[in-house]
Amino acid sequence: MTETQYLSPKTIDEAVNLYSKNQGQSKILAGGTDLLVQIRSGVLSPETIIDIKNIKEISEIKNNGEGSFTIGAAVSGASLEENEEFKDYWPGVLEALRLIGSEQIQGRASLGGNLCNASPAGDSVPALIASGATANVQGPNGKRNLPVEEIHAGPGKTNLKNDEILINFDFPTKEQGSADAYLRMIPRTEMDIAVVGCAVNITMDEDTCINARVALGAVAPTAVLVNEAAKLLIGTKLDNDVIEKAAKCCEDACNPINDKRGTIFYRKRVSGVLFKRALKIAVERAKR
C-alpha cells in the first residue's frame, strides 16, 4: 500500500501549483471531517493531501464593513461563531453552522469544506445561498467569482474544475432592515443530517418586504434558490395569503428522494412549513 503524502503550502500560488500538478490524485484538506472519514472508510485513497489551513487568505475573517465580510474557505464554524461582528450581521449563517455535527466537529468543519463536499444536505449551503454570498476560486488559469448557488453540480459533485481551489467567500453589504434565518428538520434530536433545511434572507422597509432570498437544502440533488417564492414576497406586506403561496412555491421547488429519513411527500410538506417559520424569524430580526 502506498503512503499518502501530506503537503502544507503557505501561499495560494503554491497550493494551486501543487494541486494542478497532481490533478485527480490529490485532495484538498480543510477540517477533514468529511475527507478523513472518506479516506478511512476506503471511499478515497488520494496520493497527496494538500492542507490549506496554513494559507492566510483561506483561513482569515475580514470585515469589509456594513455586513460585508470576506471569509476564508477553511474558516471553521467555531471560529466564525466567536466573531462578534459577524454574529450581528449574519445570524442565519451561524444558525446553520451551529447545527453541523457536534462542538468537536464545528471546531474543524469549514464553510468551504461543507460546500465542496457537495452533500445536498449540507447545512451551511442554503444559508450561504440566501445570504447572497459569492465564492472566489482560483486555478492555474486564474481566478473566478461564482454565486454559491452555482457551485453544486449534483450529489458529491461541484462545478469547480479539477485544478481549482475555493479560496474564500464574499458576503455582500447588508441592506438596512434586513436579516437572515436558517432552520432544519431532522428526525432525531442529535447528530443527524437535514431532511429539509430552509434559509430566508429578507429586507423590510417598515411593514413592506423590499427584498428576499429563499433557499432550500436536502430536497433536491443540489441546494435550491427559490426565486419564485422571493418574487411573491417582494413588494407585499407579507399577508398570510402571500406567505401561503410562497410556501407552496417552496414545496413545488423540491425534487426530493424517498429514504429512511423522510418520504417525498413529507420533505415537500416540511419545506413549506420550515419556510414559513424561518421567514417569521427573519422578519422579526429585520424589524429590530
Ligand X SMILES: Cc1cc2nc3c(=O)[nH]c(=O)nc-3n(C[C@H](O)[C@H](O)[C@H](O)COP(=O)(O)OP(=O)(O)OC[C@H]3O[C@@H](n4cnc5c(N)ncnc54)[C@H](O)[C@@H]3O)c2cc1C
Where on the chain is the footprint of ligand X (CB under 6 A)?
27-35, 37, 52, 73, 99-101, 105, 108-110, 112-114, 116-117, 122-123, 165-166, 191, 193
Helices (H) and strands (E) in the chain, counts: 12, 14
In angstroms, the CA 181 to CA 214 distance is 10
Query: Which of 13/205 has CB closer to ligand X?
Result: 13
- Smallest gap from Cβ 34 to ligand X, in A, equals 4
Tell me if 72 sits within 8 A of 59, measured CB to CB.
Answer: yes
Whichever of 108 and 174 has its CB closer to ligand X, that residue is 108
**Shortest distance, CB of residue 7 to ligand X, whole angstroms?**
13
Torsion angle (degrees, nearest 10) of CA 19, 24, 25, 29? 50
Is 180:93 a contact under the CB 8 Å cutoff?
yes
Q: Shortest gap between Cβ of 28 and ligand X (angstroms)?
A: 4
- Phi first, then psi, for residue 225 (nearest 5°) are -90, 120
Q: Whole-number minimum distance, CB 235 to ligand X, in Å? A: 33
Report yes or no: 284 and 266 within 8 Å, Cβ to Cβ. Answer: no
The set of cell numbers assigned to 9 is: 503550502
In the complex, the smallest distance separating the C-beta of residue 96 from ligand X, rounded to whole angstroms, is 8
Q: Specify the residue, 96 or 204, whose C-beta has the smaller distance to ligand X.
A: 96
C-beta contacts of 1-4 below 8 A and 24+ residues apart? 2/47, 4/39, 4/45, 4/46, 4/47, 4/48, 4/49
What minimum distance in Å lies between the beta carbon of 176 and ligand X? 31
CB 201 within 8 A of CB 178: yes
Residue nearest ligand X, Cβ-based? 113
Q: Judged by CB, which is closer to ligand X: 168, or 201?
A: 168
HSE (side-chain half, CA atoms, 13 Å) at 143: 9
Question: Toward ligand X, which CB reaches closer, 166 or 238?
Answer: 166
CB atoms inside a 10 Å sphere around CB 32? 18
How near is the Cβ of 232 to ligand X at its closest, in Å? 28
Measured from the CB atom, is 29 or 94 closer to ligand X? 29
The minimum distance between CB 53 and ligand X, in angstroms, equals 9
The smaller minimum CB distance to ligand X, of residues 58 and 243, is found at 58
Q: List Cβ neighbours of 263 (8 Å cut-off, separation of 6 or more).
A: none
Q: Which of 190, 206 has the CB closer to ligand X?
A: 190
Whether residue 29 contacts residue 50, with contact meaning beta carbons closer than 8 Å, is answered with yes
